[in-house]
Structure 1
Amino acid sequence: MLGQNFLRDERTIAQIVTSARPDPAGLLLEVGAGQGALTRELARRCRRVVAYEIDPELAARLGEEFRAEPGVRVVQGDFVASRPPAEPFAVIGNIPYASTSRIVNWCLDAPRISTATLVTQLEYARKRCGDYGRWTLRTVQTWPWLHWRLAGRIPRERFRPVPRVDSGILRLERRQVPLLPASQLTAYQRFVALGFGGVGGSLCASLQRGYPARRVDAALRANRVPADTTVGYVWPEQWIALFRAIHTTRW
């Protein structure tokens, strides 16, 4: 069973599906189908579901259960080894905690993904969504075209076997209109990496390694970001504003 904690609670299944808001006519990929608790609900709501399960025995059982369902296809294998669909699609899943980073990175790199709704450790979801008032590098780098949100919390007692920690519903949603032009996204990611990779944790000191000090100081003042602010406490919207002020203005 590869470390997966299975859902039994109908309220939780409804909570996850409601958070996902799946398009009944769209393509939906389920990660870690397990014993099929989510799959059954998704099959009732959606015309096209591809359910991935890495465990051969569980995948075989699901394949037999949904053999007569033309809208459901069960795939035995590692989800992150699959190629993203060429058409728009959404992802949903109660995923194994140990595979969280791999699955999230797959979703972030998929060019046609519209949304991803993933059950993760609550701590992971809170950190990625700025719930502690701090923001991670990966979240900030992808913010111009992806919105990260903690869509709900799930008590650990609602899973079997019961995990040691509570879970969160991590919601990723592609913005219809990116906050930066596509031509600037690579430069923006480098800009953020420079800010996070600097000296002493100060955003000002980090950015001054790559840009003139006066330009950095002026941009920080204009956006009301104290010069000694630790990078993790800078909001994604502030990063974008600083990028515009520093990078897109010639000096």
Structure 2
Amino acid sequence: MDIDPRSVARLRRRLAPATPGVVVLQADALSVPLDRRIIAGNIPYHLTTPILRRLLASGQWQDAVLLTQWEVARKRAGVGGGTMLTAQSAPWFEFALHCRVPASGFRPQPGVDGGVLTVQRRPVPLVEPGDRTCYSRFVKDVFTGPGSGLEAVLAGVLGGPRTARSALAAAGIPRGCLPRDVPPTLWPILWREVCSRGVPRAGRRVRG
């Protein structure tokens, strides 16, 4: 699949005669149905985030193999710290960084290296699908809320530092962490700990 008609024509000439069953489509990754078990592609660097967001929000695919910018692949895999998008997706997907692809391997050559990122759908989600909107809002509020660290942000959500410390301890997260330091699998645990304390704003916008 490619949006460029010239690229599609070249692919059809190269693949169709030698590979029965292969269908080459001229289509836009931002609108075409993502209805295959395995999704693989070289993601246009300037559209990486919208395509990845759409991929994570749609379809019943099981595995994705994506070639993205090297720094994007590192961020999504949590190398050097997690991102809000990865934390929001962690209950349903696992991300892994596999290799670096030099810019010299592309034609035309881009200004940065690429990276191979894989995304695998978890067989059993860590958060119920019906709670996805609430959970995602909670993660966003923590990443963007006021405060110098995770404990300070949670103190605003939970109504005080003592309750925030209790929730962090119950989730196994050190007090001095920043949101980016929280391992992906601990975000669902922290969210449940916050919800278990009956906090009405958990999963809603944090107020200062």
Same fold (TM over 0.5): yes
> Paired residue for 1:99?
47
Q: Distance in 2 between matches of 1:56 and 1:106?
A: 23
Residue identity matched to 1:205: A
Matched, 1:180 2:127: yes
Matched, 1:142 2:89: yes
Matched, 1:128 2:52: no
Q: Distance in 2 between matches of 1:111 and 1:81?
A: 12
* 2:171–2:193 CA contact under 8 A, matched in 1: no
Report how far residue 186 of structure 1 moved.
Answer: 2.4
- Please give the residue correspondences for 1:46-125 in structure 2 after superposition, counting only pairs within 5 Å: 52-68=1-17, 69-85=19-35, 89-125=37-73
* Post-superposition CA distance 1:85-110 (Å, at most 9, x none): 2xx52210122212211221221111
> Paired residue for 1:196?
143
* 2:33–2:59 CA contact under 8 A, matched in 1: no
* Post-superposition CA distance 1:194-229 (Å, at most 9, x none): 211211342122223332324322011234434342
> Paired residue for 1:236?
184
* 1:129–1:149 CA contact under 8 A, matched in 2: yes
Matched, 1:206 2:162: no
* Count of residues paired in the alignment: 197
Structure 2: 5+ residue stretches without partners:
200-208
CA pair 114-152 structure 1, distance change in 2 beyond 3 A: same
Report how far residue 234 of structure 1 moved.
Answer: 1.6
| Stretch moving more, 190-199 or 61-70 | 61-70
Residue identity matched to 2:149: S
> Paired residue for 1:246?
194
Q: Secondary structure at the match of 1:118?
A: strand
Residue identity matched to 1:63: R
* Post-superposition CA distance 1:46-71 (Å, at most 9, x none): xxxxxx11111121222234444441
> Paired residue for 1:5?
none
Q: Distance in 2 between matches of 1:84 and 1:221?
A: 40
* 2:45–2:68 CA contact under 8 A, matched in 1: yes
Query: Pairwise CA RMSD of aligned residues?
Result: 2.1
Structure 1: 5+ residue stretches without partners:
1-51
Q: Distance in 1 between matches of 2:78 and 2:169?
A: 23
TM-score by length of 2: 0.84
* 1:194–1:207 CA contact under 8 A, matched in 2: no
> Paired residue for 1:169?
116
* 1:116–1:173 CA contact under 8 A, matched in 2: yes
| Stretch moving more, 144-153 or 64-73 | 64-73
Q: Distance in 2 between matches of 1:224 and 1:215?
A: 14
* Post-superposition CA distance 1:109-168 (Å, at most 9, x none): 113121111111111111111111x11000000100100110222222222233322211
* 1:215–1:246 CA contact under 8 A, matched in 2: no
Q: Secondary structure at the match of 2:79?
A: coil
Q: Secondary structure at the match of 2:119?
A: strand
| Stretch moving more, 96-105 or 178-187 | 178-187
